[in-house]
């Protein structure tokens, strides 16, 4: 990973619109060789992805990592389930919180850290009601209008 490589920062914009984000965590992702190459090219999407537990391990489902162009027969499956890597203490805490009704774990951001490793920010989230979403849109419009007025003067 050189200094000239672009910063990879793939966001899930729907997560903050559809959910109220309560608590954030940073996790590593278990990837195949061609998957990290595709992520370094920015060919990943977090839309409609979510996290769930199987036997005390946290898994990510719905994240799409496009096939690597130069990968031959050893290319990866674009929408496979990927294991997330967290400390045992964080896993226990998340699993305990998930027992509450209405809470889920959503991925917020996928990025490469300074060592070139793929990391994902996940958040414990609660679904927003329809009127909460309208309130979010009103707030965005108001902020945009205020920025426009500030820029003008």
Give me the CATH number covering residue 69: 2.40.280.10
- Specify whether the CB–CB gap between 109 and 10 falls below 8 A: yes
Mean pLDDT over each residue of the chain, to the nearest integer: 87
Higher pLDDT among residues 135 and 106, named by residue: 106
Region 63-78: mean pLDDT is 82
Domain around 34? 9-128
Task: Report residue 7: phi and psi, to 5°.
Answer: -75, 125
The count of structural domains within the chain is 1
Give domain status of residue 141, yes or no: no
Give domain status of residue 153, yes or no: no
Q: How far is CA 14 from CA 21, 26, 57, 120, 135, in A?
A: 11, 19, 25, 16, 15
């Amino acid at each position: 990973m050189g200094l000239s490589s672009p910063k990879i920062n793939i966001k899930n914009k729907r997560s903050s619109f559809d959910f109220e984000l309560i608590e954030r965590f940073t996790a590593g992702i278990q990837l195949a060789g061609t998957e990290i190459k595709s992520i370094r090219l920015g060919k990943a999407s977090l839309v409609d992805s979510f996290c769930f537990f199987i036997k005390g391990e946290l898994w990510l489902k719905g994240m799409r990592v496009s096939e690597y162009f130069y990968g031959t027969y050893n290319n990866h499956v674009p929408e496979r389930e990927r294991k997330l890597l967290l400390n045992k203490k964080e896993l226990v805490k998340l699993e305990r919180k998930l027992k509450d009704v209405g809470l889920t774990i959503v991925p917020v951001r996928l990025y490469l850290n300074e060592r070139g490793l793929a990391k994902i920010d996940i958040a414990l989230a609660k679904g927003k009601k329809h009127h909460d979403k309208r309130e979010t849109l009103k707030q965005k419009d108001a902020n945009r209008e205020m920025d426009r007025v500030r820029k003008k003067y």
